[in-house]
Structure 1
Amino acid sequence: MSRTALDALCDWIGLTDRFADSTGLEHVAPDETRRAILAALGLAAETEDDARDQLAGLETAEASRLAPPTLLASAYAPLTLDPRVRRWRILCESGEQRRGEGSVRPSGLPVGRHEILLEGAGREDRVWLLVPPPEGAPSVKALTGRARLWGATGALYGLRSGRNGGLGDFADLGRLAEILAGKGASFLGINPVHMLGSSDGGLYAPYSPSSRRAVNAAHVALDLPPEWASLPEALKNEPPPASGELIDYRAVHAWRAPRMTALYKAFAAEASGERRQAFADWRQARGEALERMALYEALAETHGPSWPTWPEALRRPDSPEALAFARTHAHVVSRQAFWLWIAETQLSEAQARAKAAGMALGLYLDLAVGVRPDGAEVWADPESFLRGVSLGAPPDALGPTGQRWGLAPFDPLRARATGYAALTETLRASMRGAGVLRIDHMIGYDRSFWLPDGLPGAYLRQPLPELLAVVAIEAHRARCAVVGEDLGLLPEGLRESLAGAGLMGYRLALFERGETIRGGEFLPPESYPEAALAAFSTHDLPTLAGWRRGREIDWRAKLGDITPEAAALMREERAHERWRFAEAVAAPERVPVLGEEPEGHDLEAAEGAHGFLARTPCALAAVQLEDLLLQIEQPNLPGDVDRHPNWRRRSAASLEDIAGAPGVNQAAALMAAAGRSEQKAGRPAEET
């Protein structure tokens, strides 16, 4: 078949027309999908002539430049520049400048994002220069002096305590870190805590944030700010919503809202000059990006959390009407900025508590893959995002039917033209207060799956070396280790590229199989790589107890996603998988079928699984809080929004009881025996 102008344009952009899913089935993206994605990129190609003209324009623009818009430095070779370049000037982030003629050798340049002014052929081009650290992102050993550590991961929103307002908060986070540090843990991982946006509590999915550049104020511990003492006794003493197994976010919001309003009023009326100055200094340091986030939240109070439904005049942050609102409602904008300040401050304080308690790394934070198209970040920085397409994934092990996430992708053409400024700001914000950062869906840094509205999806190739350089630069700057979630349909060579940039990958015991994910033998722990985080499962997969029972199979059957016949076959296969895993962990099963099990058997299974993780050579071993507490239900069922209670489950035990939970002490002992524990000499494991 002859190649068309549409094919040639897609090749230039990196848009593929075919791919294979996890079953090996090949998919061919229809021309409608490719044209819709090109249109989102600003490249209308409805006809062959259109496609030919767009490609000619791109090629002409590229040929006229003295260099690509972003260059990646190597310490071992000069930059590749157009021979027409006569003079150059490097503007370093620090303000230092370097000048020269001819070739540019980046050796000796500081790590960072710098600008280069190139002169030649009667023109001047301004391009970006990425100078990553030679060693990549810092390793666990470089940061801690230890090669193998362990920690726990769990849901912040689900933490129970005797003092929170129905939703886990940053004070709970600091306390849990102290408890686990006393058991020898070196890190504590949580769900993303990005800003979700003002609402009545209806927006709570942590992987669908309004902005990844600000912290979610819903997790602020209201009783920590000094203004709490000034609140009326009625507000301080009224109990929060009753705690059931599931979180009622609207009830929590209704309880918190008047207290947050009263706390800001107390700050505005009574705060000391020093405290006011600290807020003003923070606000100034965060700059225009923060002001736009706060303005968005102020507008959302009146017009709702989705900006496309606002009056037309308010749909851009720089419109005269939006700027006028900021002036006339300065007190509302200030109140929103105040809560973003408190949220960021309390998250940093939780990290300080973790480190002070002995955690070598402290908090292990999570960067979501994208933001909602109708949220604050797209409104505040509209040029950085595309409309009409959603990020997602084709059918794979995490989502057997494929996934459409409803998240806006970065514009890759603008990203390169700006030296990845938006990604840099996102990473910088996410690494504040983190000892480790997990980057969700790292596959998207190699190729991202885009789904136009109402159409099937296709892959768009990404500039992986440049994106990894940006990650390494910011990790180096923040002294933060990085875990890239590399699960799903892996492009060839991706894991090697991540390792070369200093990033750790993921190794899930559920997926580490000898032949295929379904049916193969579980690989032994010594086969796992060092540069990885080892875990049994994730928030998107069954808990250990749930997996043993086939609970996710039950849910899929209940929701009609699979037939009863398919469910029966999957349950039969699960029984065999349990036997295989028992052999891998050297803890033979006593109950060879699914269904009812004797009391206490989940604890025995957890001993085998966590001992298995402890024996891997991976730099990090993570145990899930749900597995430490022997919970059956998983936090999230991918691909489902309303039918399964995603992101609403509470922890099975309160903070006051976690320290004495048998699964917690059992895992701590296993990790200590394997040499992973950070427990201080003379400090008993039971001490909290």
Structure 2
Amino acid sequence: MSTGALESLVEMRGIETQYVDAWGKPAKVNDATKAKLLKVMGYDTESEEAMQEQIHERFAGAWMTPLEPVQVNRVNAAINIVVRLPIELVNDTHQFIVALEDGTEMRQQFTPVDCEMLDATTVDDVEFHAYSVALTLDIPLGYHQVSLAAQDDQPFAQMRLIQAPNRCFTPPDIAQGKKVWGLSVQLYCLRSEANWGIGDFSDLTYLIEKSAAQGADFIGLNPIHALYPSNPDACSPYGPSSRRWLNYLYIDPKQIDGFNHESVQSLISNSGFQQQLKHVRDIDYIDYEAVAKLKLSALSRIFDVFNQKYLTKNTRFNKAFKQFVVEGGDSLQCLATFDAMQEHLQAEGKPSWGWPVFPAQFADFDSPAVSKFKKQHAKRIKFYLFLQWQASIQFEQASQKASDLGMTIGLYRDLAVGVSEGSAEIWGNKSLYCTEASVGAPPDILGPNGQNWGLPPMDPEKLYAQAYQPIIDLFSSNMHASGALRIDHAMALLRLWWIQKGDDAKEGGYVYYPVDDLLGILALESQRHQSLVIGEDLGTVPDEIRGKLADNGIYSYRVFFFEQAEDGGFFSPSHYPEQSMSTLTTHDMPTLIGYWHCDDLSLGKSLGLYRDEQVLQTLYDSRHSNKQEILNTLHGHQSVDHHVGRDVNHTPMTQALNFGLQTHMAAGSSALLSLQLEDWLQMDKPVNIPGTFNEYPNWKRKLSRTLSSVFDDPEVQGLASRIDSARKRVSQSGREGE
């Protein structure tokens, strides 16, 4: 293998050859890993000749394309468009025809040879020149189409021009110094007397009402992306089928017109149905299979009633439904068809977990066989379209409730970093994804062995070729009816850790993405949706991305337990950057009680995550020291009183210590404070244990109490009042200090 040819391809495709690891040490990517990453991108690295040919093809293809597929420009910055033409055309008059998003057309003539020449080359005996042409038209924010035409007005090349703002949206109150707080919840965890064994959008509305009454300005949600109706135990919200659509299990069937129909009530009143309903409500862990069976059976009957009553006639509901389907486009059709396909194959006893095991004729969404399937199963596909419509309506209603109650942010959603291998999202756009690879993380503090998330990455070059439409759709759909969006693993905007399928996580390497373009699109969608953006910037984080995120108005993510000085002491939350969201714990960490009792370490040992006793003992020793430093911090800032001991050897986790930690955070300088409802309830078991699959019931643990009992609890009310008062004091002191 020629190192020179390999390195040329590596540089062309943005594969990072060296980086700084989570412990601040330099690390290098070996040639074998580079070759693997190129292979999963579709390159042949077996010989020098093959690599040189691919380099030439890429080089020639770029020069023979007059315009790039897309260009992202920031407002107030000069717009310079690169034009590549054969030499015989460079003296001719050309024009840009700019079709603005609102339908307006603008034109600008130019002669290439009069513009700045960038480069020249010869491809297949044809000489090409590249020029930088200044576009002097006044282009507004938005997505526009630029056509390159000769004097005959016939375009021979096109590109998308994205004019983006410089920063993401910040609500005016927060921009003026208001310090807000809210609760972060896993929606499925919510218990209520009325839900069907899983938290739903009605529970969310109730939570909004009760939290707003206590002074909360937002409710943060886990990713609520679409999962797999026919494979309900694939329940990780971070391994969805589609990130553009919603998990139908969050629908409250009782809220849909048709629920009270005799055919539906006869099913629900059946003793077997009621027995199962009691079972799924009473258990402490979600029985996804049982919940899905109950909801799908009831929703199917509701759909039959609704369809007959409204969707087969000229009604306002039918018009709204059809409009929803049209706006959803191919992505929505793909998901509904995928769900119907999976259900059909499962009923026939055929493998169905995802598109890789679909029969060959169904392997591609746009195949003739799938088109035929769509016609044969049109009503069932319509049912799955109906579920997405109803989920969207109920989510929007919950969001509207937050707005009506004056919440500064309202709902904030969480965007997962990818979709699972067998997902509908990949099925509908396979060319975009490198399905022989997965993303994850190199070894770091949270995952000493590295992490492999089983999520095929988008190919950044294909994303660029598709004019960034997939990422635009993702940002837009997840900001819809949301006051904020949390970007999980925000490093993905800059780089992702790619791992060849079958390799260990530590054998991967970083692949770069067009960060400035993606941040521009994020800022544009943020401003359009009036949605604040939070970037989860934990783990192995290069300094360059933190600065870029801040400059683009994205809020950092600060976790108390990770904010330590070199001497081991914990930074006061009053020293956190204002442009951040602070929190005590996350869904990947133990609860406060779990942390204090080292339950995560003992549980990790029992699950085989810590096989080296010496390493485990080091973690216990470190935890012991950290707990002492936490007590020092809390007492030093008078966040707890004498009821909480000063010596870690004699200080258990009590309600006073738990609540003291939360009020300590409330006095911090971060604009946003997020608290976990589990810690309000002093729960000990975690939501998720990274690095486990079947070893622990991840994403299934419910809250220990119903929502009504939580907010009727005087002690919880007292905690909320103290948190709210502390946030108001910080807001006021900040204004007085200006």
Equivalent pair of 2:183/2:677 in contact (CA under 8 Å): yes
Give 1:252's aligned residue. Answer: 291
Alignment partner of 1:388 out of 414, 436, 441: 436
* SS class of match (1:73): strand
What amino acid is the match of 2:339?
E
Where does 1:123-142 land on structure 2 (aligned, <5 Å)? Answer: 124-134=156-166, 136-141=167-172
Which stretch shows the higher mean deviation, 144-153 or 421-430?
144-153
Q: TM-score, normalised by structure 1?
A: 0.92
Instruction: Tell me: CA distance 1:284–1:677, structure 2 relative to 1, closer, same or farther (3 Å).
Output: farther
Q: TM-score, normalised by structure 2?
A: 0.86
Which stretch shows the higher mean deviation, 364-373 or 257-266?
257-266
Alignment partner of 2:220 out of 164, 182, 189: 189
Q: Between Structure 1 and Structure 2, how many residues are aligned?
A: 672
Q: Deviations over 1:581-637 (max 9, x none)?
A: 22223337517447993xxx5321233222222222211111111111111122111
Give 1:683's aligned residue. Answer: none
Instruction: Tell me: CA distance 1:229–1:34, structure 2 relative to 1, closer, same or farther (3 Å).
Output: same
What amino acid is the match of 2:265?
E
Give 1:47's aligned residue. Answer: 47
Where does 1:98-497 land on structure 2 (aligned, <5 Å)? Answer: 98-102=106-110, 103-105=133-135, 108-119=138-149, 124-134=156-166, 136-141=167-172, 147-230=178-261, 231-237=263-269, 238-239=274-275, 240=277, 241-242=279-280, 243-271=282-310, 273-303=315-345, 304-455=352-503, 456-497=507-548
CA drift of 1:155 comes to 0.9
Instruction: Tell me: CA distance 1:521–1:2, structure 2 relative to 1, closer, same or farther (3 Å).
Output: farther
Give 1:590's aligned residue. Answer: 645
Equivalent pair of 2:669/2:730 in contact (CA under 8 Å): no
CA drift of 1:277 comes to 2.5
Cα distance in 1, alignment partners of residues 428 and 342 from structure 2: 13
Equivalent pair of 1:189/1:365 in contact (CA under 8 Å): yes
CA drift of 1:255 comes to 2.1
Root mean square deviation of aligned Cα: 2.5
Structure 2 unmatched ranges of 5 or more: 111-132, 346-351, 732-738
Equivalent pair of 1:150/1:185 in contact (CA under 8 Å): yes
Cα distance in 1, alignment partners of residues 562 and 307 from structure 2: 53
Cα distance in 2, alignment partners of residues 660 and 567 from structure 1: 41
CA drift of 1:479 comes to 1.0
Cα distance in 2, alignment partners of residues 346 and 217 from structure 1: 10
Residues 1:528 and 2:594 are matched in the alignment: no
Cα distance in 2, alignment partners of residues 250 and 98 from structure 1: 56
Equivalent pair of 1:447/1:460 in contact (CA under 8 Å): yes
Instruction: Tell me: CA distance 1:200–1:124, structure 2 relative to 1, closer, same or farther (3 Å).
Output: closer
Alignment partner of 2:620 out of 571, 579, 599: 571
Cα distance in 2, alignment partners of residues 396 and 675 from structure 1: 33
Larger Rg: 2
Give 1:500's aligned residue. Answer: 551
Equivalent pair of 2:687/2:701 in contact (CA under 8 Å): yes
Cα distance in 1, alignment partners of residues 714 and 649 from structure 2: 24
Cα distance in 2, alignment partners of residues 356 and 200 from structure 1: 37
CA drift of 1:93 comes to 2.1
Instruction: Tell me: CA distance 1:123–1:14, structure 2 relative to 1, closer, same or farther (3 Å).
Output: farther
What amino acid is the match of 1:299?
M
Cα distance in 1, alignment partners of residues 512 and 519 from structure 2: 14
CA drift of 1:639 comes to 1.4
Equivalent pair of 1:386/1:408 in contact (CA under 8 Å): yes
Q: Deviations over 1:158-205 (max 9, x none)?
A: 100000000111110111111100100000011111000222422111
Instruction: Tell me: CA distance 1:113–1:43, structure 2 relative to 1, closer, same or farther (3 Å).
Output: farther
Give 1:13's aligned residue. Answer: 13
CA drift of 1:144 comes to 8.0
Q: Deviations over 1:631-664 (max 9, x none)?
A: 1122111111111221011012101111134563
What amino acid is the match of 1:9?
L
CA drift of 1:142 comes to 6.2
Sequence identity (%):
29
Q: Deviations over 1:506-546 (max 9, x none)?
A: 0111111112xxx6211112211111101111101121111
CA drift of 1:565 comes to 3.9
Residues 1:651 and 2:703 are matched in the alignment: yes
Cα distance in 2, alignment partners of residues 360 and 106 from structure 1: 39
Where does 1:534-545 land on structure 2 (aligned, <5 Å)? Answer: 534-545=582-593
CA drift of 1:567 comes to 2.8
Q: Deviations over 1:547-566 (max 9, x none)?
A: 11111111111122223443
Higher RCO (CA < 8 A, seq sep 6+)? 1
What amino acid is the match of 2:162?
L
What amino acid is the match of 2:421?
P
Equivalent pair of 2:259/2:265 in contact (CA under 8 Å): no
Instruction: Tell me: CA distance 1:462–1:662, structure 2 relative to 1, closer, same or farther (3 Å).
Output: farther
CA drift of 1:475 comes to 1.0
* SS class of match (1:553): helix
Cα distance in 1, alignment partners of residues 463 and 84 from structure 2: 26
Where does 1:11-90 land on structure 2 (aligned, <5 Å)? Answer: 11-24=11-24, 27-74=27-74, 75-82=76-83, 86-90=94-98
Instruction: Tell me: CA distance 1:673–1:275, structure 2 relative to 1, closer, same or farther (3 Å).
Output: same
Equivalent pair of 1:209/1:372 in contact (CA under 8 Å): yes
Instruction: Tell me: CA distance 1:152–1:561, structure 2 relative to 1, closer, same or farther (3 Å).
Output: same
What amino acid is the match of 2:200?
D
Equivalent pair of 1:45/1:54 in contact (CA under 8 Å): no
Instruction: Tell me: CA distance 1:106–1:523, structure 2 relative to 1, closer, same or farther (3 Å).
Output: farther
CA drift of 1:671 comes to 2.8
CA drift of 1:80 comes to 4.8
Structure 1 unmatched ranges of 5 or more: 680-688
Equivalent pair of 1:158/1:648 in contact (CA under 8 Å): yes
Instruction: Tell me: CA distance 1:447–1:107, structure 2 relative to 1, closer, same or farther (3 Å).
Output: farther
* SS class of match (2:683): coil
What amino acid is the match of 2:146?
I
Instruction: Tell me: CA distance 1:603–1:662, structure 2 relative to 1, closer, same or farther (3 Å).
Output: farther
What amino acid is the match of 1:674?
A
Cα distance in 1, alignment partners of residues 669 and 67 from structure 2: 43
Equivalent pair of 1:279/1:338 in contact (CA under 8 Å): yes
What amino acid is the match of 2:142?
G
Cα distance in 2, alignment partners of residues 420 and 174 from structure 1: 34
Where does 1:663-678 land on structure 2 (aligned, <5 Å)? Answer: 664-676=716-728
CA drift of 1:276 comes to 2.5
What amino acid is the match of 2:78?
A
CA drift of 1:26 comes to 5.1
Instruction: Tell me: CA distance 1:46–1:93, structure 2 relative to 1, closer, same or farther (3 Å).
Output: farther
Q: Deviations over 1:272-323 (max 9, x none)?
A: 7232332122112222321221111111111224111111111111111111
Q: Deviations over 1:66-88 (max 9, x none)?
A: 44333221313232534867421
